[in-house]
Amino acid sequence: MIEIRDLHMSYPVESASIDVLAGVDMTIADGETVAIIGPSGSGKTTLLVLLAGLERPDAGCIEFDGVDITELDGDALADIRRDRVGIVFQSFHLVPSLTALGNVALPIEIAGGDQARERALRLLARAGLADRANHYPSQLSGGEQQRVAIARALVHSPDIVLADEPTGNLDLRTGANIIDILFRLNAESGSTLIMVTHDNEIARRCQRAFRLNDGRLIEDEDHAISA
């Protein structure tokens, strides 16, 4: 379970500061799919960055199964990301010198796990990329690169998957295909999915949706799963 309590985050702007998150509270059960929606600049990505332990909040706590990750040191946070969290970026963030197979196997190899390439190949096949395993990112389309990124985020069976506008750099048709793959693979893994999106149709596919605006997070009580 993920519990966020009274989370605050601000950034300095010239001689002042902007409150991006101003007392965010949220509880997410294991295996839930959750959408975070809101206008550009509302702090959606900041919230995801804090959940990933890539930055520390000004105040408040983020608990994973009762452990407050805001109190962990850098090494412990790195262990959390390595073992428990998968991240899907809007801009793919693939390693250009590695093939699709190498990119997907990387999290397992970093963790010192076994059968990294075999597990990566299986996940690439489920993402429809078995025939592109030995291609480099520059040889792949945007949609193919994002599928590789999704496979990389899921290959080490994380408890939590964080997706930041995963269709933001894709055309509508390709984006719809990517979302189908993301939901399917995440359902197979049973992980918790927290996705930042500006697309209300994508948000409706999640079990719950929260709107972030003026630093506050409000759950959409009328939200219903449409797919």
**To the nearest whole percent, how much of the chain has pLDDT over 70?**
97
Burial class (CB within 10 angstroms; exposed 0-12, middle 13-18, buried 19+) of 176:
middle
∠ CA 204-82-40 to the nearest 5 degrees?
Answer: 40
Q: What is the mean pLDDT of the chain?
A: 91
Mean pLDDT to the nearest integer, 85-97: 92
Q: H/E element holding 124?
A: helix 116-126
Q: Which SS3 state, helix, strand or coil, does residue 4 take? A: strand
Mean pLDDT to the nearest integer, 201-220: 91
Q: What pTM, to 2 d.p., does this model score?
A: 0.90
Mean pLDDT to the nearest integer, 55-81: 94
Choose the CATH number for 2-215 among 3.40.50.300, 1.10.357.10, 1.10.3720.10, 3.30.565.10. 3.40.50.300
Angle between helices 172-189 and 116-126 (to 10 degrees): 130
CB-CB contact of 86 with 191 (8 Å): yes
d(CA 45, CA 196): 7
